[in-house]
Structure 1
Amino acid sequence: MASSSFTSESAPDPVQPGIEELRQWLCDRLQLGWANAPTQEEWALITAHMVDAKAPGLARRLRSLALLAQQGGLPLFFEELGELWLLIEGYENQGSLPPALAQEVRSQLGQTQKKAQLQQRPGLKDLWVVVGQVRDHESTGATTLKRQRTWLWGQQHQRFALLLDYVHHRQSLPDDKPPGSSWRGELVFYDGALPQRALLKQPQAAPTPNLNLQGYPQIQQGLNAYAKALAQNPWCDRIPLSLSQILPLNAGTQLRDASGQTLPLSPDFQQGWQLMALSGGQPLTLFGEWDGCSYLPLAELSSERWVSFPPSWSSPAPT
């Protein structure tokens, strides 16, 4: 049964029929067996129905599944399929979920919170330092968007925050907050099970301080942090992660800590040799993103220097 947070007597919930159709479609596909993969037309049809049901988050997940099925990435396919089913279960049982997790379900469906309403809330005041930036593309079916993730670190509150920007693929992303810049202001976090995304209110540029961002000296500590994040939000696709005393290996394709544990670097990372040169055989302190499979370095941090790796596109630009 859907929660009243989605519906009212005067406004029928358009998501409910879409959820029911998607559940039935997945059950039918399971009976047929995923070895008999849906055709591209079948994927496109069920995806379009989720768009009609005002659930763009479900449509995005279906597009990702269709691509994985086409590429043959079976382990990741079934992982994302499990997340999709969990989202359906979360929607249908949201009345029994904690409020933050219920809001996360709504956000995952694509029901975004209004920026104007968030701007009215009091924020978290701090000196926010831009520690990393990533650019990629996201397809919406009808068009392709450019996306920019900008990670901030609050010097006083010792926490990360994420600024997320989208523009049409023919437009330019904002470049007013490059890595290494600092801003005094308030951050208002979007509601969710693991608040990361935020809005920056009335920012004022400030000199960049010496960072007090301490990384985990052991890779396992970072993996434990990711496990904790997943326990709070099972749809968390990445976390900001800082690692200290870490050594790049194999032409900058791996990291190793003092205990000998290794971590693979993202195939999207194109500065492996630069990372090796920065190290010179000595351990580094890195900030980046961990997505459960690989680590994407975004900056090298130390008391002597701060090297930011330029944002690079993780997928080809549309023609």
Structure 2
Amino acid sequence: MRQQRLLDGLDELELWLDDRVRQGLATLSGQTATWNDIARRMVDAQLPGLAFRLRRLGRLIDGSESWPARVLGGMGQLQLLIDASRRLADLPDVVQADLRHTLGLSSSRETVLADGERLADDWLVIGQSCRQEDRLWERRVWLLGQHSGRWAMLLDFAHGNRHFEHSFVTGSQRHWTLAYYPGNAPLRAMVVDTPTQTSDPPTPWTRAAPTLAVALDALSDTLAANPWQSPQPLLVGDAAPVFGTQGWMLRTAERRGLPLALATDEGWPLLAESGGAPLAVFGEWADEALRPLSAWRFAPPVSRLWMAE
């Protein structure tokens, strides 16, 4: 019964996408509500991951001059998801896991605890983000292993208000053992033991962050392994925030740029913190832009930490 509902949902979405392309992208302008309607139907089909992607695409419409190209690319990804989902059983196990997560059919907590890859490390809480969808709050807590260099994301949900079972402080560091959800480039994880304070005071903000070139090379490798995971963590250490005709961006001394997902008034505190000099900036990469969550500069004897509100 559930499998048939999933297949019917995929058929309905494919037909809807075909109609949008046939009518032309210009007709999408001002039609954000249409995307919310099809997203609700995907929820009814028990495909919440597709509903999330549809709502995100709908928010891109009329948002910039490049929105038609970005929306068309997103629609192409949705068609690839539909095609891959129909032949799910023929794909390698790790690719199946990535697709199930993207569709919103993630492994159960019990399965992850029993079979997930485990990694013990001193984990730095490097950033957090929250978003609200109707009455449901979603929180992503981003961790960076100080010895392994691995990324991990803790995903939590709360209904009705922004109250989660556990609290985290950006900039803090704890020793945890994590269990990763299965996948080709695993990122989502859960804590499997009680966290303990590290014996030494955390010194993560004095460590070197990768250059923009190195960070983008690593990001491209990760996206090649799992193109469905969004957002992705990105840490850049050699760029300063600047404001121009295209909005906020990070720019290196070599004048390489990276767009920032910041409203005009949101970027000034980050610029003030940098003093015009390069910062180490961590954030979430999605929709061809970086949304900063934390940043720091090296000001002996201690470093300073900026956090997004």
TM-score over 0.5 for the pair: yes
| 1:141-152 superposed matches below 5 A | 143-152=134-143
Q: What percent of counterpart residues are identical?
A: 31
State whether residues 270 and 306 of structure 2, in contact with CA within 8 Å, keep that contact through their aligned partners in structure 1: no
| 1:8-87 superposed matches below 5 A | 12-37=3-28, 43=35, 45-69=37-61, 73-87=67-81
1:300 pairs with 2:299:
no
Q: Which residue type is aligned with residue 300 of structure 1?
A: W
Aligned match of 1:215: 209
Cα separation, partners in 2 of 1:168 and 1:280, compared to 1, 3 Å: same
Aligned match of 1:309: 306
Aligned match of 2:222: 229
Q: Partners in 1 of 2:140 and 2:223 — Cα distance?
A: 20
State whether residues 6 and 47 of structure 2, in contact with CA within 8 Å, keep that contact through their aligned partners in structure 1: yes
Superposed displacement of residue 118, structure 1? 1.7
Aligned match of 1:126: 121
Cα separation, partners in 2 of 1:26 and 1:241, compared to 1, 3 Å: closer
TM normalised by structure 1 equals 0.80
Q: Partners in 1 of 2:22 and 2:243 — Cα distance?
A: 45
The superposition leaves residues 226-267 of structure 1 with CA deviations (integer Å, 9 ceiling, x where unpaired) of 222221122232322222232333499332223221223221
Q: Partners in 2 of 1:193 and 1:36 — Cα distance?
A: 37
User: Which of 253, 274, 277 is residue 258 of structure 1 equivalent to?
Assistant: 253
More divergent stretch after superposition (191-200 vs 233-242): 233-242
More divergent stretch after superposition (246-255 vs 116-125): 246-255
State whether residues 273 and 306 of structure 2, in contact with CA within 8 Å, keep that contact through their aligned partners in structure 1: no
More divergent stretch after superposition (105-114 vs 33-42): 33-42
Aligned match of 1:198: 189
Instruction: Note the aligned Cα RMSD (angstroms).
Output: 3.0
Q: Partners in 2 of 1:270 and 1:178 — Cα distance?
A: 25
Q: Partners in 1 of 2:147 and 2:32 — Cα distance?
A: 50
Aligned match of 1:316: none
1:117 pairs with 2:111:
yes
User: Which of 250, 262, 281 is residue 286 of structure 1 equivalent to?
Assistant: 281
1:164 pairs with 2:160:
no
Superposed displacement of residue 102, structure 1? 1.4
Cα separation, partners in 2 of 1:85 and 1:306, compared to 1, 3 Å: farther
Q: Which residue type is aligned with residue 240 of structure 1?
A: P
Cα separation, partners in 2 of 1:65 and 1:244, compared to 1, 3 Å: closer
Superposed displacement of residue 199, structure 1? 0.2
TM normalised by structure 2 equals 0.83
Q: Partners in 1 of 2:32 and 2:266 — Cα distance?
A: 36
Q: Partners in 1 of 2:267 and 2:302 — Cα distance?
A: 18
Cα separation, partners in 2 of 1:281 and 1:163, compared to 1, 3 Å: same
The answer to which structure, 1 or 2, has the higher relative contact order (CA under 8 A, 6+ apart) is: 1
Superposed displacement of residue 99, structure 1? 1.6
State whether residues 17 and 75 of structure 2, in contact with CA within 8 Å, keep that contact through their aligned partners in structure 1: no
Superposed displacement of residue 45, structure 1? 5.0
More divergent stretch after superposition (54-63 vs 285-294): 285-294
Q: Partners in 1 of 2:12 and 2:75 — Cα distance?
A: 16
State whether residues 248 and 254 of structure 1, in contact with CA within 8 Å, keep that contact through their aligned partners in structure 2: yes
Q: Which residue type is aligned with residue 98 of structure 1?
A: P
Where structure 2 has 5 or more consecutive residues not aligned to the other structure, the ranges are none
Q: Which residue type is aligned with residue 237 of structure 2?
A: S
The superposition leaves residues 62-93 of structure 1 with CA deviations (integer Å, 9 ceiling, x where unpaired) of 33334444757323221211111111011012
Q: Partners in 2 of 1:26 and 1:293 — Cα distance?
A: 22
Superposed displacement of residue 281, structure 1? 4.1
Q: Which residue type is aligned with residue 192 of structure 2?
A: K
Cα separation, partners in 2 of 1:261 and 1:172, compared to 1, 3 Å: same
Superposed displacement of residue 269, structure 1? 8.5
Tell me the SS of whatever aligns to 1:244. Answer: strand
State whether residues 129 and 155 of structure 1, in contact with CA within 8 Å, keep that contact through their aligned partners in structure 2: yes
Q: Which residue type is aligned with residue 15 of structure 2?
A: Q
The superposition leaves residues 7-49 of structure 1 with CA deviations (integer Å, 9 ceiling, x where unpaired) of xxx9754211221222233223333334444967764554343
Q: Which residue type is aligned with residue 177 of structure 1?
A: F
Cα separation, partners in 2 of 1:145 and 1:119, compared to 1, 3 Å: same
